[in-house]
Each structure stands twice: as structure tokens, then as C-alpha cells.
Structure 1
Amino acid sequence: MSQSVLDQVPVLSMAELSKADFAQGFGESFQRFGFAMVRDHGMDPALIDAGWTLARDFFALPEAAKRAYDAKFNGGQRGYTAFGTEIAKGASENDLKEFWHVGRDLPPGDPLAETMPPNVWPDELPAFHPVFAKLYAEFDRVGAELLSAIALYLGLEERWFDGPIDRGNSILRLLHYPPVSPEAPGIRAGAHEDINLITLLLGAEEGGLELKDRNGNWLPVVPPPGALAINVGDMLQRLTNHRLPSTSHRVVNPPPERRGHSRYSMPFFLHLRPDVMIDALPQCVSDANPRRDPPISAHDYLTERLIEIGLIKKS
């Protein structure tokens, strides 16, 4: 895949295409690139803008205030993770970022609360809870529609994913990459694949996101304003027996003249419900493509991967 091919990745409209045509285009983009770009997703731009403002306000708080919501007490799943904590699988250096996690609010007494801790909210920003609860619900809604398109592409019933993602352990991550010096070497986030089914990413003002093509080249990803960049995660790769590949991506330092600027992004990691078993779909297994991975529960797989990236300490 060359740069000119990446430039031709279609930006698919959820509003203008028929469901069948959208499903075909979306699935083909996933199968070829492990990645797609989507516009007309219906998320409220004013709500998104409010989210960006609150994210900047939170990360501008004093370090002591942010650390009062430290996520190390719940496996990194809710609240604040300090700068330099996370490390890409197999990497030697920690990422140059800090972040906040919003998860699913469960009803009282829900048995899934054992694996999905309650949200925490910063007292300093009263609007934080209502805005990000709404944004989480919007990502959840759009993600379900995107998965319905993938279901059609795979020959499944259109709403096949609705059950497995019902009360799924999805995460909305608010990311801040602080400024670095003009001489800074390296990258802001090491090469990695996402753990979840699919990731929905709202574009960042500052560039730096790159994906790895099938020839090993790193290519920049620049969605149009307002569009979502969506990539395949490892859970969907396992579920489709690698028919839909999880693509390596990273965040590189910007040109020297832009390194004094922060970078913010807002990915939504769409997960299965913790008790769902991840096992290859029968239609994705054949003599030419035999089963590649053993079955594993979504919770066990997530735990295994969170240990690898340093958000859970191995006991």
C-alpha cells in the first residue's frame, strides 16, 4: 500500500449510502487496510466540542489534582493514568501521554460490576460527568451501527453483534500528549494493535497518527474534519480468524516547529461483554484459513493484554 493508495481510502457516508453498499465498502476497507474512515455518523458536533474543551480543562489541572483520581486502583479502567505509565506491547520505552478513562455505568447489583468498576468523576469540573456520559452513549450507538455493517459483510444476521456487546466493557479514553522539545527523538505512542473489537477515533488537531501497511511502511492517517477513523482491534481479528486484520499504528512526534503544542485525541474502544467467548466464526474458518487462535473469554483476554501494557501488575 503506497501513500497514493492511502489517499484513496474512501470516506464512507453513513447517511448517503444504502446499508448494503455501506457494509460492502466498510468491510472491504477493513479487510484491505484494517482501517476505515466514516462521515455523517450523526454525533452532535456541539457535544464533541464540549468534550474537547473539558478534556483540555482537565489535563490543565495541577498534577496533584489529577492524581487524586488515579486509575491504578482499578486496573487502569476508570479515571486518570499519569504521564509515562503505559507501554506498547514489546516496547522498551513508555509512551509520552496521560489519559482519562470513562466506562459503562451499570445498574445497581449488576453481576458484571465484579469486572467493570464504577466511574469516577473530577469534582473540579461539574460538566465533565454529563458531557462524557452523553458522548459515551453516542459512541456506543454509532459503534453498534458500524458493527451491524460488519455483520452484513461477514454474512451474519445484521444485528448479530448486539447481544455480545450488550453491557460491553467499552472505554472512552481522553488522551493528552504534552509538548516535547524541538530536539525530542522518537515517538509519542509506540507501535501497537488495539485489544478491543473496533476503535472509533475522533480526529486530533495535531497530526502524528500513522498506520503500518502490508509492506511494512508507516503512513499518516488524516481523516477529514468531523469524520471518524475506525480500526480493527485484536478481538475482531480473533473472531474473524484474521480475515479482518488488526493493524499496527503509532503516534509519532510532529515536525520540530509543532513539538511545542499538545496533542489531544478521543478514542472509543468498543468491547465485548466480559463473559462473551471469543471464538472464530465458522464462516471464517476453512482449509485455506484454518483456525488460528484458541477460544478465550473477553475478560481473560483483556486482562492478559492489560498486564502486557503495564496497566495491571502481574500478581
Structure 2
Amino acid sequence: MASRIPTLDIRRFDSDRDAFVAELGAAYREWGFAGIGGHGIPQSDIDAAYRVFVEFFALPEDVKMRYHVPGSGGARGYTPFGVETAKGASHFDLKEFWHIGREIPDDSKYREVMPPNLWPVEVEGFREHGYGLYRTLDRLGSRVLAALALHIGLPEDWFADKTDFGNSILRPIHYPPITTDDIPNERAGAHEDINLITLLVGASAAGLEVKSRKGEWVPFTADEDVIVVNIGDMLQRLTNHVYPSTTHRVVNPQGEEARKPRYSTPFFLHPNPDFVIDVLSATVTADNPNRYPEPITAQGYLEERLREIKLK
């Protein structure tokens, strides 16, 4: 079933642009998800980042809690187990995570809503490998957005000055071993992402499922050298649902697999905080009237959604 969600080689954006843009756009219109191969990120860089993330999550709980910032919405640092809850869900997700944000100058106009990063001094190389992966995925995400812009008739660089100070987040996640059967909680309850696009690196462990237009849950376990990229609600809103933000979840494994931890690292690519999400006129037609006549800033939308998932 998983093969129904396409995987495309992004090197074709340079060598076979028109065909690649058409195929990528079609994949996202249908699924809101695609696998991106040929991305050029060395596996050694990904492995190094995962090593420091795993090392952090293995620290004692009281050490990890030194990096928890109450009232911040989890914007930076550590969010403990049992907090985030999928919108509309009754039970919290079975995960803990860390947030790395964009490094900006203290005199930036965005400093109030984009605080400085926290870095765990207990884990050597955390900043180097964590922020290195952040920058790499930020660049790759910009290439995907360039292709998506072309597909809907925008200039290739349309997103460039709208995401150059984007409030993007790298989120290393630890799903601890599940030791009790028949619990109502899921590792990640059914949800849609908030941002423009999400890039998931290291999705080779089973568990991710994507809801098709027919309502079927389709497993999507990517090959090791493939990054899963999906549409978020901000891009769905901006494009008037031309690019759908698809519901997905991380299901609990069965048997002995449930007794093993799972790690994953999504990169949530956001616009600049003051970017106004206003439906693109090119996506409004007689068959697809404007669904969002009231514009909203990216920061306003983010805060609204963080409250819904119990991070604020």
C-alpha cells in the first residue's frame, strides 16, 4: 500500500524541471505527502544528529526538566512526556521532544516571538549536529517550496523572502517503549501539521500512517535515504486547499516491537512571523471559492493552533 504515495528524486528539479514540477504537484494535490529522494544530505550527518538526540533523551528526568520552559508553548528546549495532545483528542500523545529554532540576532524584530535556543551542556555536539541538521533541512525545504510555487503559477522564488526568517522548528522526538497493552493513547494521535511544509528525516521506522481521500489509513515507511515531506495547514490555507494538509498519525506497534523506543525528527518549515496568510487569488475559482476570506498572520495562526494542541 505504501507505494501508492509517490517518491520523487529532487535532482530532477535541475535536470527535468517541468516534468518534476508536474509530478510533484500532482502528488501533493492527491496525497498532501510525498517522499523526496536524491536530497544529498549525507547519512553520516543524519546519524550524528540522531546520536546526540538519543543521548539527550536518555538523561535523567530531572536533568531534562532543567530545559523545560513553562508557559512558552514548547517553543524552545524540552517538552516532557504526556503534554502534547492532538487537536480534538481525549488522550495525550506518547512522546517527549525537544525544539530547536532559528538562530537570529537579539536585535531582530522577531526576537519577542522567536526566543534564543537552549542547548543541553550534558550532550557533546548537540548544538553542532542539531543546528547543522536544521540548516540542511531548511535549504531542502526551500527547494520543495520553489517547485510547489512553480506548479501553481507563482515565480520560483515566491516563498524566498517570506520564509528567510521563518519561525521554523526542528523537533527530535522520543517515543518511549510501550509497556502496557490496550492503552487508549497513540504515539501520535491523528492530526494535521500547522506549518507550510514538514520534512521528516529518519522515518524508516514503521508507524507513520497517512489518511487517503477515501478514508483509508495508508502506512508510509520511507526508505532510509528518503525524506518524507508533507503539506501543513498554513500552505493549505494559503492555496485554498489546492495543496491539502492530510491527516496522519503514528500508531503503536504490536508485540515485542512495542517494547522498543522509536525516534523521529520532523522539521516544521514556517513563514516569517509577520507573513500574512491570505488566499492566493490564482487558487480561487468558481469550483473552488475562497474558503478563508479573513487573512491572519503566521504568528497569530500559530498561537491559535498551539492552544488547541495544549502546548499553550
Q: CA deviation at 1:205?
A: 4.6
Tell me, yes or no, if structure 1 residue 118 matches structure 2 residue 131: no
Contact 2:204–2:221 under 8 Å retained in 1: no
1:10-35 Cα offsets, whole Å, 9 max, x none, are 32111245222221111111000111
Which residue of 2 is the match for residue 248 of structure 1?
Answer: 247
- CA change 1:29–1:205 in 2 (3 A) is closer
Q: Please list, as runs of the form range in 1=range in 2, the aligned pairs for 1:135-214 lying within 5 A after superposition.
A: 135-181=133-179, 183-186=181-184, 187-214=186-213
Q: CA deviation at 1:73?
A: 4.2
Aligned structure 1 segments of 4 or more residues deviating by more than 6 angstroms:
none
Contact 2:204–2:224 under 8 Å retained in 1: no
The more displaced of 78-87 and 205-214 is 205-214
What is the DSSP-based 3-state SS (H/G/I as helix, E as strand, rest coil) of the residue aligned with 1:74? Answer: coil
What is the DSSP-based 3-state SS (H/G/I as helix, E as strand, rest coil) of the residue aligned with 2:256? Answer: helix
Contact 2:199–2:227 under 8 Å retained in 1: yes
Letter in 2 for 1:165: T
Contact 1:182–1:259 under 8 Å retained in 2: no
The answer for unaligned runs of 5 or more in structure 1 is: none
Letter in 1 for 2:168: S
Which residue of 2 is the match for residue 280 of structure 1?
Answer: 279
Matched positions, count: 308
Q: CA deviation at 1:298?
A: 0.2
Letter in 1 for 2:205: E
> Equivalents in 2 of 1:147, 1:85: separation in Å?
31
What is the DSSP-based 3-state SS (H/G/I as helix, E as strand, rest coil) of the residue aligned with 1:250? Answer: strand
Which residue of 1 is the match for residue 308 of structure 2?
Answer: 308
What is the DSSP-based 3-state SS (H/G/I as helix, E as strand, rest coil) of the residue aligned with 2:39? Answer: coil
Tell me, yes or no, if structure 1 residue 8 matches structure 2 residue 8: no
Which residue of 2 is the match for residue 29 of structure 1?
Answer: 27
> Equivalents in 2 of 1:132, 1:111: separation in Å?
25
> Equivalents in 2 of 1:128, 1:19: separation in Å?
37
Which residue of 1 is the match for residue 17 of structure 2?
Answer: 19
What is the DSSP-based 3-state SS (H/G/I as helix, E as strand, rest coil) of the residue aligned with 2:263? Answer: strand
> Equivalents in 2 of 1:14, 1:222: separation in Å?
19
> Equivalents in 2 of 1:198, 1:130: separation in Å?
24
> Equivalents in 2 of 1:167, 1:19: separation in Å?
27
Letter in 1 for 2:218: L
> Equivalents in 2 of 1:9, 1:98: separation in Å?
28
Q: CA deviation at 1:225?
A: 1.3
Q: Please list, as runs of the form range in 1=range in 2, the aligned pairs for 1:200-279 lying within 5 A after superposition.
A: 200-279=199-278
What is the DSSP-based 3-state SS (H/G/I as helix, E as strand, rest coil) of the residue aligned with 1:23? Answer: helix
> Equivalents in 2 of 1:300, 1:182: separation in Å?
39
- CA change 1:71–1:44 in 2 (3 A) is farther
Tell me, yes or no, if structure 1 residue 39 matches structure 2 residue 37: yes
> Equivalents in 2 of 1:22, 1:71: separation in Å?
43
Contact 1:104–1:170 under 8 Å retained in 2: yes
1:240-262 Cα offsets, whole Å, 9 max, x none, are 00111100000110121201100
> Equivalents in 2 of 1:278, 1:52: separation in Å?
34
1:247-292 Cα offsets, whole Å, 9 max, x none, are 0000110121201100000000000000000011111001111100
Letter in 1 for 2:11: A
Tell me, yes or no, if structure 1 residue 90 matches structure 2 residue 88: yes
Which residue of 2 is the match for residue 61 of structure 1?
Answer: 59
> Equivalents in 2 of 1:39, 1:105: separation in Å?
27
> Equivalents in 1 of 2:4, 2:211: separation in Å?
16
TM-score relative to the length of structure 1: 0.95
Q: CA deviation at 1:204?
A: 3.4
> Equivalents in 1 of 2:203, 2:244: separation in Å?
24
Contact 1:182–1:260 under 8 Å retained in 2: no
Question: Taking every aligned residue pair, what percent have the same amino acid on both sides?
Answer: 49
What is the DSSP-based 3-state SS (H/G/I as helix, E as strand, rest coil) of the residue aligned with 2:110? Answer: helix
TM-score relative to the length of structure 2: 0.96
